[in-house]
A and B are shown apart, each in its own frame.
Chain A
Amino acid sequence: MDNLFNRKYIVQGLFIVVSLILLGTLFYIQVFSDKYFLSAENNVLRRIYTYPARGVILDRNEKVLVRNELVYDLMAIPNDVKPFDTVELCRIISVDTAKFIKNFKTARRISRFQPKAIEKQLSVEIYQSLSEQLARFPGFFVQSRTIRQYPDSIAGQFLGYIKEVTPKEIEKYDGYYKSGDYIGRSGVEKAYEQSLRGVKGVAKLLYDVHNVPKGSYAEGRLDTSAVSGEQLISSLDIRLQKLGEELMQNKIGSIVAIEPKTGEILAFVSSPGYDPNLMVGRSQGNNYMDLLKNPNRVFNVRPIQGYYSPGSAFKPLDALIGLQEGVIDPNTTFNCPGYFKAGNHTVKCEHIDGNIALRRGLARSCNTYACYVFQKLITQKKYKNQKVAYDDWHRMVSKFGLGDTLGIDLPGERTGRFYDASYYSGKYSKYWGYSTVISLAIGQGEMDATPLQIANIMAIIANKGYYVKPHLVKAIGRDREIKKEYTQKHYVGIDAKHFDPVIDGMQEAVNSPWGTAIGSRIDNIIMCGKTGTVQNPRGKNHSVFIGFAPRDNPKIAIAVIVENAGFGSAYAAPIASYITEKYLKDSVANNKLAQVEWMKKQIVLPEPPKPKFKLKPKATDTSKTIKLLNDQATR
């Protein structure tokens, strides 16, 4: 019997072992793992978002560039929908019946009880006729949202557009965006997304198993209300922007106008542009595809993405660095026989100017003068060799903002091209000197700059030695917060006194009878400037004008580039002068209005691309560029 009595312990032991198994499992799922706790939160908590209004964007005079407009989404709760006259409903909201039915079926498949948008972004007109009849369609209702609206239809590339977030973006911005949210996809909308979007309001609600709300979580203590996006005051001047876009219509190119003292960009024209209103609403997708088909690439933001040889715009820098380094003084003369010989290379000059000094050299845009200064700079005795000299020169030029982004508050800015000595040493080994890169003296060859960089050089000259980072948004929010980086002056290392002779030269270019830009003279305003005709390896030369005005206390620095338009004096200079006049005098003089209208009507588009049967000339090669310079007229 003892034997059987002991079996008690077996049975009791089994009980204990099993209860330990239960307790162990419980410990795991209750204390050790928080997976189940989180699942429970997922079960009952739903976050209901309220969407803030996106910030509006104003111009520098606080006129509206972008505002919000109400649109209406037709929503449905599939389970509540009674049989209805589909054809009639589709007629009212003017959509294709088949598409409507497809949307409805998709919504029903996802959930019978969740409200879902069947047709998005109905206009006010459609909403009005629909709301009268909505009672006939039980289960349907209308939810309002806002979309962007652009009263003047201008500054498309500058403002950018918003679009529904992609799954990638949802992942990237970790948690803020949900499918169906909108996000700034380009331009200011993208650059200032954080300020513009505001803050979504979140209400945490508890839901029971039947998806019926049961009140707020933690008595709503954790709920937040939506905070509207902040308004942006842009530096643009609607009047200039509008005039600029009109002048540039049917032309390809850029206008960048900067207020030199502040770095605020007054006009930012990229042509061809597009009407920003095309990028909102129901047909955004279709319009986008249509715009993509434009061979002149409307989505290129040319002021910060277009590459142009700075050409004549670069020559003031030669003079400035020459003066700073002491290799010339304002009266130093060089003899221009119509060309400059540097080793095997010959740089031709458009004119035979004889003995020429700084002012006239700049006014006449003399290639020979520029090359002499460059030669003197690179062959200074204080340097061990020309490579070191070149690097020093490169450093000084880079301070003017060439070869790197200026850090404008827009996505997609490009650096331009400007190489240091190691690049050439890599390319030519040690067999190179000033004569190899002589074309850089006249802003050609292996040097590209964006219109923004070129305009910024003008701002530096206007300021006599410094620039403020060019930017498009002046102030953020109600408090007009100005980013600190936009109040800092960047000095380029040239003494202010050296600017005077250079400015004199540029003044003469516009205001003296033998200047190259006499056609863009403005009455009562001393404008300083230079024309350029930038050689274009792919077609007709680009017409360029750079300048600033007025001479004393400059208010505007401007760069205008019209592609394939030939001489700088033909298109770019007049356009710049109209814009400058409009800005400084509030309107263009009456006697010029006819010219303005004529300019607006001009069509300067490249010929449709021909079939390529020969290799494109290699524009990047400095030595070859010099030969091509023969075709180029720097006036």
Chain B
Amino acid sequence: MSTETQTVKTTTTKTSKMVNISGAEAVIKCLLEEGIDLIYGYPGGAIMPVYDELYKYQDKLHHVLTRHEQGATHAAQGYARVTGKVGVAIATSGPGATNLVTGIADAQIDSTPMVCITGQVAKQLLGSDAFQETDIIGISMPVTKWSYQITDASEIPEIMAKAFYIARSGRPGPVLIDITKNAQFEKFDFEYKKCTSVRSYKAIPDVNEHAINAAAEIINEAKKPMIVFGQGVILGKAEEEFKALIEKAGIPSAWTILGLSALPTDHPLNVGMVGMHGNYGPNKLTNECDALIAVGMRFDDRVTGNLDFYAKQAKIVHFEIDPAEIDKNVKTDVAVLGDVKETLARILPKINKNSHSSWMQEFKDYMDIEYDKVIKDDLYPEKEGLTMGEVIKHINEASKGDAIIVSDVGQHQMITCRYAKFNKSKSNVTSGGLGTMGFALPAAIGAKMGQPDRDVVAIIGDGSYQMTIQELGTIYQTKVPVKIVVLNNEFLGMVRQWQQLFFDKRYASTEMVNPDFVTIAKGYHIEAEQVSKRENLASAVQRMMDSKDAFFLEVCVEKEGNVFPMIPSGASVSDVRLS
């Protein structure tokens, strides 16, 4: 059935052996061998043998009980995103497993390293529609980087080693390992060898020197070069190499939503965000640059707008680890495959020193226009209602750009990404590709546990918040000191904005009648405040930032605020609107 013995190459230097242990204990041993000390999950029938071992190993492996399996995946993602390590989530079979699917899909599209472990009914019951049996391998297959069903305890070490290798190597992603209950009970002699390669899987493509030279030539000859960087810079741990390149070549650099924080927001060459709610200049100038250099990004439709009118005048260079991304959406002139940490370092000596100051000035001129038409009113509003932008501004002032900011999905997310300040990489945690409402609260739990010495602020809309609000229970139980800001406009704001602009204000099912969020937070014994007046905002934000414990702050913002700039769906990036 399986050719695993041929497909896994293992190191011989470090092995760990134990005689006659259960499959369940072997699972824990594998996690410890991989350096995992924190996992998120929810117990249930088919995974109980593993939980029984977790009880025995609780001094070495900390398990966080979330209030829903989806929360476990998002917490694991938050942990992975701020640490660069593999996040682990564990659940039982059936509904436990299906509840993981949203988080798995989110991790797949946002390239987050995660290993999910699910219990499964015993091997002899497979296919019998047994209690809590579901085909989680089949259900999750299109949204996992890899998956495997273990039906025999002896498979556990090799498959777990392979799972962690695949999850973290190359372009990272989620791996699901489904373990039948009999395999958890069976005894066998355990031996662990780390996986270092898999036949049929090339984690990192070879670097082609000709491509490096061709890319360097385009960059050196360009009069108006522009860089768009994505999460690849962060995943490749290539922040320093990236900064060295743009500073030497003097190239204005814009980011995708997941690239945010790879370069400090106040870096002089950081020209802001591209895409649907990105900045005016980088969107407009995408269609004026003569070389567009994409670094670790995938030309998502929210970034490019209408592809028929996207950077047609420019030569396109694409630094990318995943060969399937080359020419997927935008045809490249030069594709530089490889790990950006290596390719950026190798191209650096071939790049001429330059400044492009008049070209850079064009970005500044557009920024001045955007400031007058949009930013000024977002950050320093003169109207009565509070804006989301001014809340972010106060958080910036209190955090000085050192906090990890976790945002959910919707208007507040776009405003957060537009205005939040970041000094350090791996500090922006948000659901980019999948746009998963409910992501932020559990992801913030994982982020704070991954970086306990840093402030973690979750910024969440009133709609998103109620999708995973039960994770307040996890916060109360674990005492994890996350700061939670709900920007409450009593609407599903982004959908309402589209209804206003494109559906003649027919606000179908977007108005929210909300509960008393402060009372709910207090019900979980979390310190909580509500602010609805401008004069109280700064001090409330400061109290939140000063708090040593978890803190909930609800800010009642204007009901019908809109996010601009905006590229209407189907329009070109250069048709970006300011109002």
Decide whether A and B are members of one complex: no
Show the binding face of A for B, using Cβ within 8 Å: none
